[in-house]
Amino acid sequence: MQKNFSVIFSIITVFSAFILYAQNPEIGKNPRYCNPLPMVINPGGNAAGDVTVIKENGKYYMFCTGGGAWISDDIVNWTFQRVENVPIAPHVVKYNGSFYMCGNDGPLFKADNPLGPYTSLGEWKNTPDVAGGWNEPFDMDIFIDDDNTPYLYYPGRGVSGIYAVQLDPNDLTKFVGKVKHLFKFDSNHIWERYGEMNEYTDVAWIEGPWMQKHNGTYYLQYSASGTQWKTYAEGYYTSKSPLGPFTYAPNNPLLRKTEGIVTGPAHGSIVEGPDGNLWQFYTIVLSNPPGGRRIGMDRIKFDENGNMSVEVTETPQLAPSPNFNVSNGNSGSLPVTINKIKSMNTLSKFSSEQPGRFAAYATDNSNGTCWEPEPGDNSPSLTIELSPATRFDVVQLFNIDAARLMFSSGDRWSSRSANSEFIYKFKIEVSMDGDNFTTALDQTKNNISRNTIFEEISPVKCRFVRLTITNWPKSVPLSIIEFTVFGKPAASLPANVPIPGNN
């Protein structure tokens, strides 16, 4: 009896420890992600927005404007796979054992697996003219309902809005029945309006539909005001039928962010993550270069009334995991380098800068500026004092635990990046006194092509952080949009503590 009790007690202890672990993920042990996602770029593929992610046999497949596909087991770490015939704004869906791909101004393709090869089924048939809302099709979404009925959702032009039609189950290029006009631009929805201040009261571009069914409700997402603006955002309508009528959601817009690193979130897709929850993927619109685009993702939540919500994030978040389920993925790590390369931070310094491409732009929390070192600077570096700037302040120390680097590739969507590699090599060092540095992250042998990088750092306490770029692609100027170090406040020291070598 005593032995059985010990066994039961041990099982309960292990189970309790698992529950505690599941509820309390730890930085450094549990994977995190940070937007924009650090997507691999290879000749033939650039993750340049208009993102569709599907799940098949436990793996995830991503398709984007810019060509190619990406594969993942966890929706955090993606490997590139070249795929032919990927159009602009690609959409991929599985239907009756086959995979169908469509996109802008092209035919419908079919394949036996997500990575192809895809063969053309020809142009769409029996399609309406401009008056009906469709001409040179784009931003299409094929939705398969629970009863296996296929539907097509697509935008008209400009303010026209979103249309839908049932598809022929034996030939997805054919329409069945009449096209339904679901909704159009509404000037009362200020976020839908054109412009960086949504100032165009009668102009908009409604696009990027995505249909998702959840708990018996149809959620139809769409994007506005246009992919050239940082006000690009995403909203949704709901219905109890795939063809409507649809009701404008009371908490719109669903995705909108106009300041910081992640701006213009819209035109995306929804997929069930490894944690069993729904995840929103979306396009990020940058200001550098104007209209430049990256990829982001975040958790989807539903309230008691069935309203969908997504918090757009740009700090390290807990990745989805089958081992734990969290409603709020914020890991608590803050940016600790923002605006700390300025004249008042006398102990911060840099190796060189070009006129109008100041070193301070590398830490200004903006995706519209960049730091460019002088052409002859063969080892560009930034040394950042994390502490407050005056001798009257206490000296604040931080435990840093991650870093993000964003580089400008010099093009908007795909023309250069899709045919180039962008391999950046660098190291990050830390110091307590500003003189003696140790390496916290060594990427001097990196061979992965990415224009956005996010790397974990074993938590380390420091007062100074130094970034040194050791190599970069010479096809474009070295242009750093942002360098962000993440961490949490640690100890503090009395004000005006002497720094060796800086007395």
Which residues sit opposite 409 in a β-bridge?
none
The structure's pTM equals 0.92
pLDDT per position as a tens digit, 324-372? 777 789 999 999 999 999 766 778 899 999 999 999 999 999 999 999 9
6-20, 30-44, 432-446, 485-499: range with highest mean pLDDT: 432-446
Q: What are the tens digits of pLDDT across the range 271-303?
A: 999 999 999 999 999 987 777 899 999 999 999
Task: Please name each of the domains of the chain with its CATH number.
Answer: 31-332 (2.115.10.20), 335-493 (2.60.120.260)
Task: Determine the Cα–Cα distance for residues 156 and 401; give it in Å rounded to an integer.
Answer: 46
List the 91-95 sheet strands across, edge first.
91-95, 98-102, 109-111, 119-120
Q: What is the pLDDT of residue 411?
A: 56
Which tokens in the block code for residue 428? 């990050």
CA torsion sign, 427 to 458 to 259 to 301?
A: positive
Confidence of residue 477 (pLDDT cuts 50, 70, 90): confident
Give the 3-state DSSP-derived string for 162-201, with helices as H, strands as E and coil as C: EEEEEEECCEEEEEEEEEEEEECCCCCCHHHCECCCCCEC
77 in Cβ contact with 88 (< 8 Å): no
* Segment 44-89, tens digit of pLDDT: 888 889 999 999 999 999 999 988 899 999 999 999 999 998 999 9
Q: What are phi and psi of 248, to 5 degrees?
A: -65, 130
Of 308, 278, 281, 232, the C-alpha closest to 61 is: 281
